[in-house]
Amino acid sequence: GIAKDWTRETTITQFGVALGTPRYASPEQKAAAKVDGRSDIYSLGVVMYEMVTGKTPAQVQTSASSLDPPPAPSTVEPTISDSYSNLVLKALERRPEKRFASADLLLETLDRIIEGKSFHYIPTMPRQKKLMLAGGAAGLLVLLLVGGWFAGGGQWVQSHLAPPASQEAMENAAKAEQAAKAAQEEAQRLQKEMDDLKKRQAEAEEQRRLADQKSRVPKISPELVEKAKKLVELGEHRAKQGDFEGASAKYKEALGVAPDLVEAHSALDSLPVRKQLWDKQKELERLTKSQPAAAQHKPATAARGGADPVKTQIDTAAALIRGGKYKEGIGFLNLALTMDPHNREAQEKLQEAKRMQAEAR
């Protein structure tokens, strides 16, 4: 009685009212918050968990906090593969944005697991748990320092508290990954601004061209028109090199020769927008070059001999794109570039995916 019919308006499922079987309901559904298809993915994850373990996540939860991820199905039933276990844990993420974006994507991943391919995923630890662990670590550090003082002073502390190289490497890798993610988000924001500016430029040029075709009739000799067009070409050459003042001077010079030349008017009118585009492009290049640490970062799982998560995202994207799911594939490629912004394979596949998506439209 709580299923949503998307083809017509229904009132039984509504914001502010909690409906559903609690054991299978998503966290946002229990909280009477806004729900969407990802809430169904959570409920499906509960069913898949119960299918292979005989119990729901709530029944095997041993943690005092309900915010903790449930035990992996493979720990409850050892015959279950790690890949399937990871898929179920991703479906059971408390935050909707951490789950599969769609049921199609979940099905694609399940098909890959059935084909024998690996799927890696680490459940998100709640913020409260992170703070608790950080507090516990701080308390442990104090105890160790005090014990070290009474057990022999600085030599004991140095021998017992010096962080292992692997821990330092993991911390550096986490910092590099965070910096790369921030750089990728900033780059995407700049790219969107650039696309908007290009669209406005094209619209302005088209309006100018149509207006000039209706109202302007050349009243000068073909020789002067040709000379003015040459000046516009020189202005274009300077604009492409970033010399917008020089370009403006050439366009104005062309208008002095042929006041009604459409090309000169369009070029001059669009010059401010083109300068913004140039500035944004340079800012994007600077941002990309300012992340050398991220470029050198290699995922920890790959260093330990496991599957490369960047390669996993690229392979998943390729499978989605082959199936015509361009939007989902582009999302996985963006994720791969967040992890490794300089991955050439991901960059090339992203360009190809966008081209195929545009052609499909």
Q: What is the DSSP string of 244-261?
A: HHHHHHHHHHHHHH-TT-
The confidence score (pLDDT) of residue 51 equals: 94
Q: Rounded to an integer, what distance in angstroms lies between the CA atom of residue 55 and that of residue 61? A: 10
Gap between the Cα atoms of 256 and 271, Å rounded: 18
Asked if residue 340 lies in contact with residue 291, where contact means CB atoms within 8 angstroms, the answer is no
Query: Do 23 and 7 contact (CB within 8 A), yes or no?
Result: no
* Residue given tokens 């002095």 in the structure block: 256
Rounded CA gap, 49 and 28, in Å? 19
Q: Give residue 124's pLDDT.
A: 77
Contact 93, 99 (CB under 8 A): yes
Tokens coding 45: 């994850």
Nearest to 347 by CA among 302, 290, 295: 295
How far, in Å, CA of 211 to CA of 249, rounded? 23
In degrees, to the nearest 5, what angle opens at C-alpha 116 toward C-alphas 96 and 343?
Answer: 65
Asked if residue 265 lies in contact with residue 255, where contact means CB atoms within 8 angstroms, the answer is yes
| Per-residue confidence in pLDDT tens, the chain, 361 aa | 456 666 665 555 555 555 667 778 888 888 878 888 898 999 999 999 999 999 998 888 765 456 678 889 988 888 899 999 999 999 999 889 999 999 999 999 999 999 998 898 888 766 555 555 555 555 655 555 555 544 554 454 444 444 444 566 677 777 777 777 777 777 777 778 777 877 877 777 777 667 666 555 456 788 899 999 999 999 999 988 989 999 999 999 999 998 888 888 888 888 887 788 788 777 766 766 655 444 444 444 444 445 577 888 898 889 888 888 888 889 888 877 877 888 999 999 999 999 998 888 7
How far does Cα 57 stand from its chain's mean position?
Answer: 29
> How many other CB atoms sit within 10 Å of the CB of residue 100?
24
Residues 6+ apart with CB under 8 A from 44: 91, 103, 106
At 21, list the tokens.
């079987």
Give the Cα separation of 19 and 164 in Å (integer).
Answer: 50
Per-residue model confidence (pLDDT) at position 4: 62
Buried b or exposed e, range 236-258, using 16+ CB within 10 angstroms: bebbeeeebeebbebbebbbebb
Say what the pTM is.
0.36
